[in-house]
Structure 1
Amino acid sequence: MSDADDVPVDDGRHVHRIRAHGHEHVSGEHQSTVELTSDDWLTPAGDCIVGIEADTTPADFDQTFVSACQSADATITAEFTVQTNDGTLTDTIRARGDPELTFEGDRSLVGRTSDYVDDRTVFVDADGAATDLDQDLIDALADGAELTLTLTVEPGAN
């Protein structure tokens, strides 16, 4: 991870970028989670996974970023961006942080519409999941496009 990947912004926000690749089995059908994995493979059963070979897992995040996410009042914005021959495709999911987030997962990162937390969870109570992402973006990922996930945390009062 380079320093440019975890950047505190002057207004107190923290920004982290994760890069991954699409795969032919990306379907974006899961209704409650969205996931990136560091694995270099994907089966059709992984309907929440939208990117493989992620260059960052939760265990790699800077502690200041993790601390910002551990506020129940933190707002986390997940922006999914894909470059195609026809232009840039972007979609956004908004969620919140949670004091129970550990950022200990070393294989994959997961965003959830529920408040369930495990070592892979990076945000909860999201307003969308894999199934809610723009279908053109999902199609581009199924064609193997590169994905940039930009996580922006606006810390809460805690």
Structure 2
Amino acid sequence: MEYTFKAKGHQNVTSKHKTTFEVTQDAEIGLAADCIVGVSSNVSLNDLPIKMREAIQNEKTEIKIVLKTENAEDVIRGYGHPALTLDHPTDMVCRKSDYTCSRTLMINADKAAVDLDGDLIDELASGKTLKITIIV
């Protein structure tokens, strides 16, 4: 099952966070938001199809996220969990840890913001469009 949506890069994307990366519906971010790689997302966790939400709420489900800009892309793998409520109205967070909250899309991810492809981050910092695909 696959779900694709779009967000935008932002001049304050620094991608320095060591344990998470995030996509948000917020249009503006500050420099302290070093985990955010995409802003102005056109969907929230609440918008994910019900069958995908059910799959994500299973700890055996492997989740793959593809982040793609015009000239760069990266793939991140992690897992679902029954404790994921998937109901935050604006934020989607992928975590290297097993911490869960309403903002969490996946846990035990193999990459955080700091690990993402440098060309991808450069394009996001210049404001390029970000295509996000969730595959479960």
TM-score, L = length of structure 1: 0.85
Question: Any stretches of 5+ residues in structure 1 without a counterpart?
Answer: 1-13, 154-158
Calculate the aligned-residue CA RMSD, in Å: 0.6
2:91 — aligned with what?
108
Provide the secondary structure at the position in 1 that maps to 2:69: strand
Distance in structure 2 (CA, Å) of the matches to 1:54 and 1:118: 19
Residue 70 in 1 paired to residue 23 in 2?
no
Match of 1:55 in 2: 42
Q: Secondary structure at the match of 2:67?
A: strand
Q: Point out where structure 2 has 5 or more consecutive residues left out of the alignment.
A: none
Q: 1:36-83 CA deviation, whole Å, 9 max, x = no partner?
A: 010110100000000000011111111111001111000000110000
Cα distance in structure 2, aligned partners of 1:71 and 1:107? 22
Counterpart CA distance in 2 for 1:48 and 1:123 is: 15
- The letter of the residue matching 1:41 is E
Distance 1:18 1:92 in 2: 15
Is the partner of 1:99 in helix, strand or coil? coil
- The letter of the residue matching 1:126 is A
> Could you say what secondary structure the match of 1:55 adopts?
coil
Which among 124, 130, 135 is matched to residue 107 of structure 2? 124
- Identity among equivalent positions (%) equals 37
> What letter is aligned with 1:32?
T
Tell me how far apart the structure 2 counterparts of residues 18 and 75 of structure 1 sit (CA, whole Å): 19
Instruction: Tell whether 2:46 aligns with 1:94.
Output: no
Quote how far apart the aligned CAs of 1:120 are: 1.0
Number of residue pairs aligned between Structure 1 and Structure 2 = 136
Q: CA deviation at 1:18?
A: 2.2
* 1:34 correspondence with 2:7: no
Answering whether residue 117 of structure 2 is matched by residue 134 of structure 1, we say yes
